Amino acid sequence: MGNEEYFIQILRDRLLRAGALFTDEPANSDIVIAVGDGFSGDISIVYGDQEPGSADIVITIHDLLSPDGKLTHWGDSELHDWAKTIMKGDEISPLKRQNYRFWVNIRDVCDALCILIMDGRSRKMKRIINIAGRRAWPSASIIQEMEMLWRRYSNSLNHSHTVKSLSSVPGPAVDVPRERTERPDLSSLHDCLRQCGSEGWHPLVPMRVSLMEIFAHANN
């Protein structure tokens, strides 16, 4: 199953839980949702630099994080590669440069898309919408956090915890340098969600939880 097909499956499940009805005939639908490079619809959902087809609203997703690793071509392949390396006990090669990504969990993305798709007011709003996390995550801090999480898990299995290993450790958002890549403009997303009756764009899944889920899926 390709990346677009898997994403469609996740989004479809979320819309079904919200009460949406689906049809295979576009002529019988209230709204046509297109996902992926070049596809057209009332709402077009693409990742990163993909080109949308004809659409009234174009929603671009940046730095999508999928814990089960089935959407790596949509952005998070490096996270899954790091997890596999750490689980093997190998060292991650030194990074050539510090990257900053605005990771956002697929559940938060689909929750926001569900609101925009199900609420007719969104179709009267801005045409271009970006979805990304609100906070920049430096690569080195993410790797450090993943190593800590896997070490704690391994210590639990081996009953080898120490006072130091169980002590509180800051999350990966701590000490983020000011120099970072520019975040995608999230103002349209925030405004649209608020006009649809929500509190705006406030992703709920913590980064640490997402990283733990990556390990959990990789370990199955």
Report DSSP letters for 100-114, one per residue.
Answer: EE--EEHHHHHHHHH
The number of beta carbons lying within 10 Å of the beta carbon of residue 63 is: 22
pLDDT in tens, the chain (220 residues): 457 888 999 999 999 999 999 988 878 888 999 999 999 999 999 998 899 989 999 999 999 999 998 888 888 999 999 999 999 999 888 776 678 899 999 999 999 999 999 988 777 776 899 999 999 999 988 999 999 999 888 877 654 545 555 555 555 544 455 555 789 999 999 999 999 999 999 999 999 999 999 999 987 6
What pLDDT score was predicted for residue 13? 97
pLDDT at 172: 55
CATH assignment of 3-218, given 1.10.10, 3.40.50, 3.30.70, 2.40.50?
Answer: 3.40.50
Structure tokens at 125: 């709003």
- The reported pLDDT for the residue numbered 171 is 57
pLDDT at site 1: 40
Give every CB contact of residue 184 below 8 A, 6+ residues apart in sequence.
Answer: 60, 62, 102, 130, 131, 132
| Residue partners of 50: CB distance under 8 A and separation at least 6 | 36, 37, 38, 60
Report d(CA 212, CA 209) in Å as an integer: 5
- What's the predicted TM-score (pTM) here? 0.88
User: What pLDDT is attached to residue 20?
Assistant: 93
Helix 77-87 with 207-218: angle, nearest 10 deg: 60
